[in-house]
Amino acid sequence: MTFRGSQTVSTVMESPSIIQDEIGADRVMTDDIFDTTYIKKVDFKPPIKLVWRNVILMALLHFGAFYGLFMIPAAKPITLAWAILCFMLSALGVTAGAHRLWSHRSYKAKLPLRIFLAVVNSMAFQNDIYEWARDHRVHHKYSETDADPHNAVRGFFFSHIGWLLMRKHPDVIEKGKKLDLSDLKADKVVMFQRRNYKLSILVMCFILPTVIPWYFWDESFSVAFYVPCLLRYALVLNATWLVNSAAHMYGNRPYDQTINPRENPLVAIGAIGEGFHNYHHTFPFDYSTSEFGLKFNITTGFIDLMCLLGLANDCKRVSKETIMARKKRTGDGSHRSG
Ligand SMILES: [Zn+2]
Ligand SMILES: [Zn+2]
């Protein structure tokens, strides 16, 4: 960890244009690039304060989702198809929306697409886009320090769900306040969702997934509530959390072996493309979050489709030369042929 981030500009072997490309210097927003100046307050360890409301709600949700597993055989095939559709839509609201568009500005989206992504983001109920993007930029900028909201150094449980069950470390709050979030504040869709968040999650995450199967194809209310609503919601949450936990612990580091995030294809499958995490933390502004385009990456396919339809543009990519140079300089050698 001693070399963390320091190679970005110091051991310059490549041309300046490659280094510029590596940090995405042409972007307006660069608050997702690792900040090497963070200094840990060594003797300071704040007490853990549980947020009991979240502990109880998360316990109830997971009991409900577990019960939902046993309801699957009783569900009509069309209800299961609906549950999968709800999973995909809510996952896209996080991956293509809160993550790749709003946290990293890795592509541009026209108004109808931004509205769609905000609506399906509410279906995922993972805090509003503004808060999600702020936490995520802090995660990248101060990754694996006390200022990282889900600091993976604190273990699998903390980085997976524990961080949501307790008060934030003061450094997370302090550093979060210093981020430039002007682009989010200027986005009317983001701020509208934030103002109407409670109503939007009630409708999109709970009412709609339950009522549609019950009303349109006579599914029993309890199956509709436990499978497409609770089970689907818990699965999307856990798929997202695995990026913060498993993909920070298990896998190769072909792009930068001095950082913890890893390439984890299983997480990529579950989180529809977000498991190539060593690549993503090395090049956070790449719209594909991966060197390999569509491989295990439904989100990239979705954004490509939106570009074809004229609803998205300006997808940022890292050049092959820059990737190769970075692999040679800081990778663990696991992509020898690459
Ligand atoms: Zn990460
Ligand atoms: Zn990210």
Q: What is the pLDDT of residues 123-160, one digit of tens each?
A: 999 999 999 999 999 999 999 999 999 999 999 999 99
Distance 216 CA to ligand 1 centre (A): 40
Ligand 2: distance of its center to the CA of 129 in Å? 13
Q: Which ligand is nearest to the CA of 102?
A: 2
Portion of the chain with pLDDT greater than 70, in percent:
91
Range name among 6-20, 107-121, 200-214 with the lowest pLDDT average: 6-20
Q: Name which of 273, 272, 249 is nearest 262 in CA terms.
A: 249
For residue 189, what are the contacts with CB-CB under 8 A and spacing of at least 6? 111, 114, 115, 118
Task: Kindly state the average pLDDT of the residues 268-293.
Answer: 97
Tell me which ligand sits closest to the C-alpha of residue 103: 2
Q: Mean pLDDT across the stretch 251-269?
A: 97
- Which one of the ligands is nearest to 245 CA? 1
Residue at token pair 């709800």: 86
- Tell me what pLDDT residue 335 has: 78
CA of 272 to the centre of ligand 1 (A): 15
- How far away, in angstroms, is 83 Cα from ligand 1 center? 27
- Would you place residue 43 in the very low, low, confident or very high pLDDT band (cuts 50, 70, 90)? low
Q: How confident is the model at residue 2 (pLDDT cuts 50, 70, 90)?
A: very low
- pLDDT at position 87 over 60: yes
33 lies in some domain:
no
Question: Beta partners for 109?
Answer: 312
Q: Biggest alpha carbon distance in the chain?
A: 65
Percent of the chain with pLDDT over 90: 85
Query: Is position 24 within any domain?
Result: no
Cα of 77 from ligand 1 centre, angstroms = 36
**What's the CA-to-centroid distance between 225 and ligand 2, angstroms?**
31
Distance CA 163, CA 10 (A): 34
pTM (two decimals): 0.92
Nearest one of 251, 237, 261, 238 to 152, comparing CA atoms:
261
The overall average pLDDT reported for the chain is: 92
Whether 5 shows a pLDDT value over 50: the answer reads no
Q: How would residue 40 be classed by pLDDT, with cut points 50, 70 and 90?
A: confident
Q: Per-residue confidence at 185, pLDDT binned at 50, 70, 90?
A: very high
Q: Give the Cα separation of 56 and 308 in Å (integer).
A: 44
Please name which ligand lies nearest the alpha carbon of 105.
2
Three-state DSSP at 116 gives helix
CA of residue 140 to ligand 1 center, whole Å: 6
Give residue 17's pLDDT: 59
Please say if the pLDDT value at position 248 is more than 70. yes
> How far away, in angstroms, is 79 Cα from ligand 2 center?
32
Task: Give residue 133 CA to ligand 2 midpoint distance, Å.
Answer: 9
Distance from the alpha carbon of residue 315 to the mean position of ligand 1, in angstroms: 21
H-helix segments, 51-110: 52-71, 77-92
pLDDT at 338 over 60: no
CB 179 within 8 A of CB 31: yes
Residue 181 lies in a domain: yes
331 within domain boundaries:
yes
182 CA to middle of ligand 1, Å?
Answer: 23
Report the alpha-carbon distance of residue 14 to residue 325 in Å, rounded: 7
pLDDT band at 98 (very low <50, low <70, confident <90, very high): very high
Confidence of residue 18 (pLDDT cuts 50, 70, 90): low
> Which ligand neighbours the alpha carbon of 259 most closely?
1
For residue 283, being part of any structural domain is answered with yes
| 318 within 8 A of 289, measured Cβ to Cβ | no
Q: What is the mean pLDDT of residues 13-24?
A: 61
CA of 13 to the centre of ligand 1 (A): 27
Number of domains in the chain: 1
Residues, the chain: 338
13 domain residue, yes or no: no
- 284 alpha carbon – ligand 2 mean position (Å): 6
How many whole angstroms separate alpha carbon 136 and alpha carbon 140? 6
Identify which ligand lies nearest to the alpha carbon of 260: 1
Q: Which residues of 303-337 are buried (b: 16+ CB within 10 A; e: fewer)?
A: bbebbeeebbeebbbbeeebbbbbbeebbbeebee
- Residue 16: its pLDDT value, please? 54
For residue 17, being part of any structural domain is answered with no
Strand partners, 179: none
Amino acid 15: pLDDT: 57
| 3-class DSSP state of 319 | coil
Considering only 11-20, 76-85, 115-124, 303-312, which range has the smallest mean pLDDT?
11-20
Phi/psi of residue 27, each to 5°?
A: -80, 160
Task: For the chain, report the end-to-end CA distance as a whole number of angstroms.
Answer: 24
pLDDT (0 to 100) of residue 24: 72
For 306, the domain range is: 49-337
- Between the CA of 212 and the centroid of ligand 1 the distance, in Å, is 35
Q: Which ligand is nearest to the CA of 274?
A: 2
| 30 located within any domain | no
Q: Give the pLDDT score at 44.
A: 72
Q: Is the pLDDT of residue 227 over 80?
A: yes
Residue 19 or residue 64, greater confidence? 64
pLDDT at 10 (0 to 100): 37
What is the reported pLDDT for 1?
A: 36
State the distance from the centre of ligand 2 to the C-alpha of 81, rounded, in angstroms.
29
Please state, in angstroms and rounded to a whole number, the distance separating the CA atoms of residues 225 and 71: 10
